[in-house]
Amino acid sequence: MIDERLVLDANAVAGDLEELFGIDLTAVIHRCAHCGNLGPMATLLAYVHGPGTVLRCSVCTDVVVRYVRTPWGTRLDVRGAAELRIELLG
């Protein structure tokens, strides 16, 4: 499928996410709410060329995070992430 070659991973949106959250999210471990897969957010499949950005579980392809950047700010739906594990630094 030609368009599957366009699929990136969340490394490609790491800058956007860090701008929103103030920390790098790619190394953060998440649990997929659909299939339970535990892994770094970097491995999420990123669909970036549409009206918004969709990050999908690399195991079950269900939506983990989706967001839209509007002129007034960003709206995120993170229901697909059942859990985020953020390590303390330093």
Partner 1 sequence: MTDRFVSRGFVGRRRDADANRAGRIPPGQYLTDGFPVLSAGPTPQIPLDQWEFTIEGLVRAPVRWSWEQFLALPARDWTVDISCVTKWTKLDTRWHGVSVDDLLAAVELDPRAQFVTASSYGGYTTNLPLTDVLNNQAFVAYQYDGAPLEPAHGGPARLVVPQLYFWKSAKWVRGLRLIEHDVPGFWESLGYHNRGDPWREERYSGD
Partner 2 sequence: MPSQPLGWRIATVAEIRDETSDVKSFSLLVPQWQTHRPGQHVDVRLTAAYGYQAQRSYSIASAPGPDGRVDLTVERIAEGEVSPYFHDVLVTGDEVEVRGPIGGYFVWEPSFGGPLLLIAGGSGVVPLMAILRERAGVDAPVSATLVYSSRTWDDVIYRDELEQLAANEDGLRVLHTLTRAQPPGWTGFARRIDRPMLEQALGGIGPQPLSYICGPTLLVEAAANGLVELGVDPGRIRTERFGPTS
9 binds partner 2 (CB under 8 A): yes
17 binds partner 1 (CB under 8 A): no
Please enumerate, as own/partner, the contacts of 9-17 that have beta carbons within 8 Å and a separation of 24 or more. Answer: 9/42, 9/43, 9/44, 9/45, 9/46, 9/58, 10/41, 10/42, 10/43, 10/44, 10/46, 10/55, 11/42, 12/46, 12/48, 13/46, 13/48, 13/53, 13/55, 14/42, 16/53, 16/69, 17/41
> Which residues from 16-55 bind partner 2, rule CB under 8 A?
18-19, 22, 24, 26-27, 40-43
75 binds partner 1 (CB under 8 A): yes
Residue 59 contacts which entry, partner 1, partner 2, none (Cβ below 5-8 A, type-dependent): none
Query: Under the rule (CB under 8 A), what is the footprint of partner 2?
Result: 4-9, 11-12, 14-15, 18-19, 22, 24, 26-27, 40-43
Query: Under the rule (CB under 8 A), what is the footprint of partner 1?
Result: 1-4, 6-7, 45, 47, 49-52, 54, 56, 61, 63, 66-68, 70-72, 75, 77
